[in-house]
Structure formats: structure tokens, C-alpha cells
Amino acid sequence: MLGRSLILKTAAWKPVERLVRRSFLFRPLVRRFIAGDTLEEAMTHAEKLAERGLATSLDYLGENTLNETEALAAKATYIAMLERIARSPHRDRINISIKLTQCGLDQGESFAERNFREVLTVAAKTDTFVRVDMESSDYTERTIAMIERVFPDHPNTGTVLQSYLYRTPDDAERLIRLGCRVRIVKGAYLEPETVAFKEKSRVDEAYIEIAKQLMSRGRYPAIATHDAKIIDALKAYAKAEGIDRSRFEFQMLYGIRRDLQDGLRDEGYPVRVYVPFGDMWYPYFTRRLAERPANAFFILKSLFKG
């Protein structure tokens, strides 16, 4: 069985990236995780999901802009997404997730902050929530600090915490104090042992602990996982503590565990599906492969055959 870090390292190898990007062989697998290349395709999926009683968060794929022009183009796309959502009959069920490195964080914190604030101003006019995804640990502190600066002026934002990082219990306290919405995830990046747990059991234990804190003391947390055991444990916790189903939501990724998404919806829990779109799908796609080695094994087998 291929390990997660081996898959992420192999996928970062340029010849592998070129092959996977160009080959039609992988298209069905890419399409399973990515809703399409355009905003219109993503909206079609979001509206269909809304009709099935599922909320969505649209993600315009891309990270780490190389210059200010790229970051400004990403900001313009975020604004176009907000304007398009505002015209949808299902606008109450659709929000967006963005990345600070796509707002230009590598080009400078104040530049990224200006772009981020501009997006939030448009989102406030259309009454839409904007979630800041969490990227690799190089960006954790800058992301949380940015949210702390911006949230008092723009309460329509929140972010994500990753249970694999040792620092996350302290960050959860910071964000509970701040009062912003937090999505808790396990974490999808390749991190060194100096900052993150390696053993799945430690990541899962931390996840449950932090999720409980957020559910008891936080503001409308998002429990983002496909892990049925964790979901059951947190449902039991909510029941034991008298936490109403309307005070938190479950979130899952587009194309993963649709059965679980529908099941939770049928039980009356709010469920939101994260819907990625755009042509910069490769890094997102490789993180999904690393979570499910069987998929990556299929790709490697095809590479060696061909």
C-alpha cells in the first residue's frame, strides 16, 4: 500500500504532473472530484445539490499566485462568483471558500489583505459567507492573524483548523474567543514531524477533542470529514450535551461519500458540499489521491504500463 507522503512527493514530480494533466485516461477520476472548468458548471452542480437539500461552498481552484496580476485576476473571479450566487434562486445555500495565497499572500500581507477585504465587502452586500481555507503550515499563523485583523470589520468570514497540527488546540481557543466560524478538518498537506502528528490515531483523537470544544463553545462550527466513526462520535456528543442540530453543520467534499451526505441530510443535519472548479485542479486532485491510495495506485499502474 502506498503511503500518503510518498503519493504527495511522487505527484509533485513534474513529469508525473505533465502526464496526469495531459492524459485522457485520468479524466474520469479528475471529474469525480472536480465539478468542472467554469463557474457556470460549478453553479449547475451547486443548484442541483441545493435541490437535493444540500448546501455548498464553491472553491475556485488555484493557490500561490506568482505575481500581483494573477492575484488580482483571482480576486475578480471571487467577486464574479459572489455576483453569480446572488442571482441564484438557491443563494441562501451557496457560499464560497477562498485561499489567501490566491489573494496574493506570497506577494505581501497588506496586498492580500486589501484583496481579501474587497471580496468581503462585496460578500456582505450579497449576504454571503466567505471561508478562508487553511493551507500548509507555512501559512497557518498568517492566516489566523489575518482573520483576527479582518473579522471585527467583516463578520461574514471564518477559517479552517487542521487537527494534525500540534498548535491547533491553542488556535481553536483564539478563534473561539474571536467568535468566528471554524471548519475543523484533519489536514491535507505534507507536514514535517516537528509540526504535525504522523499517526492517524493521534490526528483522529485531536479532531474529536477540538470538534467538541467548537461544538460546545464555538460559533456554528463545520465538522468537515468523511470519517463515519468520527461523525457518529460527534453526533452522540451533541445528543448528550443537548446541542441542537441547527448549531453546527457537516461538510464533505464533492464526489466523496455521497451516501453519507444524503444520510445525514435525511436525519435532519445541515450538510454542505465543497465544490471545486477551475483548470488549476492538479494540487487539489493529488491531495484527494493521497487520501485514498487505491486511486493513486491506479494512476501509477497506468504510468508504468504506458
Ligand X SMILES: Cc1cc2nc3c(=O)[nH]c(=O)nc-3n(C[C@H](O)[C@H](O)[C@H](O)COP(=O)(O)OP(=O)(O)OC[C@H]3O[C@@H](n4cnc5c(N)ncnc54)[C@H](O)[C@@H]3O)c2cc1C
Degrees to nearest 5, angle at CA 291 with 288 and 294 = 95
Residue 134 CB, nearest approach to ligand X (Å): 4
- The residue with cell 483564539 is 174
Among 90, 226, 258, 265, binds ligand X (CB under 6 A): 226
Residue 227 annotated to the active site: no
Residue 266 annotated to the active site: no
Residue 55 CB, nearest approach to ligand X (Å): 11
If one asks whether residue 186 binds ligand X (CB under 6 A), the answer comes out as: yes
If one asks whether residue 172 binds ligand X (CB under 6 A), the answer comes out as: no
If one asks whether residue 62 binds ligand X (CB under 6 A), the answer comes out as: no
CA distance readout (Å), 132 to 14, 23, 32, 100: 28, 32, 24, 7
Among 185, 215, 238, 296, binds ligand X (CB under 6 A): 185
Among 56, 162, 168, 261, binds ligand X (CB under 6 A): 162
For residues 46 and 237, what is the distance between their CA atoms, to the nearest angstrom?
30
What's the 3-state SS for 218-287?
CEEEEEECCCHHHHHHHHHHHHHHCCCHHHCEEEEECCCCHHHHHHHHHCCCCEEEEEEECCCCHHHHHH
Side-chain-facing half-sphere of 126: CA atoms under 13 Å: 27
Stretch that binds ligand X, among 21-29, 40-48, 246-254, 262-270 (CB under 6 A): 246-254
If one asks whether residue 288 binds ligand X (CB under 6 A), the answer comes out as: yes
Nearer to ligand X by Cβ, of 83 and 282: the residue is 282
If one asks whether residue 140 binds ligand X (CB under 6 A), the answer comes out as: no
Q: Which amino acid is at 22?
A: R
Nearer to ligand X by Cβ, of 68 and 236: the residue is 236
If one asks whether residue 202 binds ligand X (CB under 6 A), the answer comes out as: no
Burial class (CB in 10 A: 0-12, 13-18, 19+), 240: exposed
Indicate the SS3 state at residue 157.
Answer: strand
Query: Of 133, 171, 272, 288, which is the active-site residue?
Result: 133
Strands (E) across the chain are located at 55-60, 94-98, 130-132, 157-162, 181-185, 219-224, 249-253, 271-277
If one asks whether residue 291 binds ligand X (CB under 6 A), the answer comes out as: yes
Nearer to ligand X by Cβ, of 64 and 69: the residue is 64
Query: Of 84, 93, 183, 272, which is the active-site residue?
Result: 183
Active centre residues (catalytic): 133, 183
Q: Which residues are at the interface with ligand X (CB under 6 A)? A: 133-134, 160, 162, 185-189, 224-227, 251-253, 256-257, 274, 288, 291-292
